[in-house]
Amino acid sequence: MKLKHIFTIIFICIGVYGFSEEFTDTVKTELVYDTSQLKTSDIIRVGVLYKLKPNWHIYWKNSGDSGLPTKLEYTVPKGFKAGETLWPLPNAYKRDGHILDYGYNDEVLLWSEIKVPKEFKQMHLPITLKTKWISCETICIPGKAEFTENLDLNHENKLFNSWISKLPSNKNNNFDIKVISNDNKYIIIINNNGLARNFKLFPNPVKAIDIVSVSYKENGNNQSEILFTVTLYPGHEINTNKINTVISYIDKDNTRKGFNYSVNIDNLIVNN
Amino acid sequence: MKTLKYLPVLLLFIFAFTLNSEAIDKNFTLEDQNGNKISLSDYGDKIVVLEWTNPDCPFVKRHYNEKTMVQLAEKYKDKDVVWFAVNSTHYMGNEDNKKWSDKYGVPYPILNDSSGEVGKSFGAKTTPHMYIIDNTEGLVYEGGIDDDKSGAINPDKRSNYVDLALTNLSSGDTIEISKSKPYGCSVKYK
């Protein structure tokens, strides 16, 4: 079956986000999916490809100091299970006033893996996928799109391959990493072995905790340092002793890669 | 000898500075939408609420459509609370602030900080970003207006941190939540 492309001109509506109506063409969206993994597994990949106007960006799962994380919501038949959104390595956007945001510009594919129950023998899967975002440049414009599709379960889309390579790995590529801390100030020291540079930190969202004043240092001894301060917000229970982050870097082939990294915060000082 | 003559004055200045340094450090004079000059130091006997705003920001628009700030300002106006909106958007001026004020019937001054100097001195990052300055304790709250950045929660069920802090101050209680993560659009400095 011929692949159906849905291009949606995005407009802002009064919806769950409660924003006023406006029209924007800063983001175009397309439902994309790949079911070729069904040959060897029980998952399919379904997501949204966002194409942005130059100089505009949408946000990562932690939008940073401002903005709003991009959201995807799946409605699937009973017995199916949509996993968490998969986020390729984000970019950092610095603004005057020490404002730091995390997100994507130009183009990004966000998707989930959907588990198909063994007993499902049909060749088509009805699905609804809703997405909401805020796109920003000089101003910010909220947007949303909704797709209702009957997915062909015999459909390959190789687009996913290039985006899978942009997901953070669960291994740190054998970098030797240590963390030192003092009075809510932390330094992640990475021995890069001369094989990587330009390390950047992207903290996962945590309600009670914020990572601020992030800075970077390259030492002469093949060491990279990521320095930051942890701010605690009162009134929220801190039920974790780790901050999960993504660390990106440029490898010796000038390819951007990244890995998930947890920072132990056992010694955090709670200031109210 | 001349230095000794002025020493008491110098010591007094240093004492006053360290006693309430936050309030003095952050003093400013800005124009409101009608061209009137407003100085923070003129309100030293009041509780001052500063609300960073930007009429172009969808988060601000949502709150003004819901009358979040306007209703809160009205609620506390007879309780020694003065409310100022501050617009540090570099491309906006008094006229933009006046249009906004007229459109939404804003009962408090909107101060023109298009240079961004005051916003940066406070560390304002988002619109909205809220600050409450008490006349005796200095800065007692900074952060978001509430806990609902996406506007998904019923307004009656949101935790409005500014309302909570003003209630604490009015009743002489300790501020329960003195800090929260602000949310909104980034302040559009130059």
Give the integer Cα–Cα distance in Å for A135 and A105: 9
- Residues B168, B175: contact at Cβ < 8 Å? yes
Q: What integer pLDDT is reported at residue A267 of this predicted model?
A: 62
Task: Give how far A69 is from chain B: nearest CA, Å.
Answer: 9
- Evaluate whether B122 touches B28 at the Cβ level (below 8 Å): no
**pLDDT of A150 strictly over 50:** yes
Q: Which residue has the tokens 């993560």?
A: B181
Tell me the C-alpha distance between A11 and A214, whole Å.
35
Domains of chain A: 8-164 (2.60.40.1250), 176-264 (2.60.40)
Whether A136 and chain B come into contact, CB under 8 Å, resolves to: yes
As a whole number, mean pLDDT of residues B163-183 equals: 94
Residue B164 Cα, gap to closest chain A Cα (Å): 12
pLDDT in tens, A67-92: 999 999 999 999 999 999 999 999 99
Q: Quick one: which of B22, B119, B141 has its CA closest to A95?
A: B119
Contact A113, A36 (CB under 8 A): no
- What six digits make up the tokens of A256? 């951007």
User: pLDDT for A183-220, tens place per residue?
Assistant: 899 999 999 989 999 999 999 998 888 999 999 999 88
Kindly tell me if the per-residue pLDDT of A268 is higher than 70: no
| Whether the predicted pLDDT of A245 surpasses 90 | yes
What pLDDT shows up at residue A148?
A: 96
Smallest Cβ distance to B58: which of A19, A97, A210?
A: A19
Q: Is B174 in the A-facing interface, judged by CB distances under 8 Å?
A: no
Is the confidence at residue B6, as pLDDT, over 70? no
Helices (H), B66-139: 68-76, 94-104, 117-122
Other beta carbons less than 10 A from residue A187's beta carbon: 15
- The length of chain B is 190
Report residue A12 as tokens.
């802002």
- Residue A125 above 70 pLDDT? yes
Question: Given an 8 Å threshold on Cβ–Cβ distance, is B186 in contact with A99?
Answer: yes
Confidence band for A2, pLDDT divided at 50, 70 and 90: very low
Contact B185 A101 (CB under 8 A): no
What pTM, to 2 d.p., does this model score?
0.88
ipTM (interface predicted TM): 0.86
Q: Count the neighbouring beta carbons within 10 Å of the beta carbon of residue B41.
A: 11
Which of the residue ranges A23-27, A131-135, A209-213 has the most confident prediction, judged by mean pLDDT? A131-135
Nearest CB to A19; choose among B56, B62, B119: B62
Kindly state whether A212 is in contact with chain B, defined as any CB-CB distance less than 8 angstroms. no
- Number of Cβ within a 10 Å radius of residue A33: 25
Q: What is the least distance, in Å, from the CA of A123 to any CA of chain B?
A: 36
**Cβ distance of B183 and A272 shorter than 8 Å:** no
B20-186 CATH, one of 3.40.190.10, 3.40.30.10, 3.30.565.10, 3.30.390.30: 3.40.30.10
| Token digits of residue A147 | 């797709």
* A68: nearest CB among B149, B180, B189: B149
C-alpha torsion sign, points B22, B24, B29, B32: positive
What is the rounded CA–CA span in Å between residue A226 and residue A217? 7
Tell me: cis bond preceding B128? Omega within 30 of 0 counts. Answer: yes
* Rounded Cα distance, A131 and A150, in Å: 18
Question: For the residues B72-84, what does the mean pLDDT come to?
Answer: 96
Position A16 scores a pLDDT of 38
B187–A99 CB contact, under 8 Å: yes
Ordered by start, the domain boundaries in chain B are 20-186
- pLDDT for the residue B137: 86
What is the nearest CA distance from A20 to chain B, expressed in angstroms? 7
Q: Judge: A19–B151 Cβ closer than 8 Å, yes or no.
A: yes
Tell me how far apart the alpha carbons of residues B180 and B186 are, in angstroms, rounded to a whole number.
Answer: 16
The CA-CA-CA angle for residues A12, A64, B83, to 5°, reads 75
- Residue A63: closest CA among A135, A115, A112, A125: A135
Does position A271 have pLDDT exceeding 90, yes or no?
A: no
Determine the distance in angstroms separating the CA of A256 from the nearest CA of chain B, rounded to an integer.
Answer: 27
B76 pLDDT higher than 90: yes
Q: Where are the alpha helices (DSSP H) in chain A?
A: 159-164
Query: Which of A11-25, A256-270, B2-16, B161-175 shows the lowest per-residue confidence on average (mean pLDDT)?
Result: A11-25
Say yes or no: B190 contacts chain A, CB-CB below 8 A: yes
Question: Which of A263-272, B73-82, B141-150 has the weakest average pLDDT?
Answer: A263-272
Q: Using a CB-CB distance cutoff of 8 angstroms, which residues of chain B are in contact with residue A99?
A: 125-126, 186-187
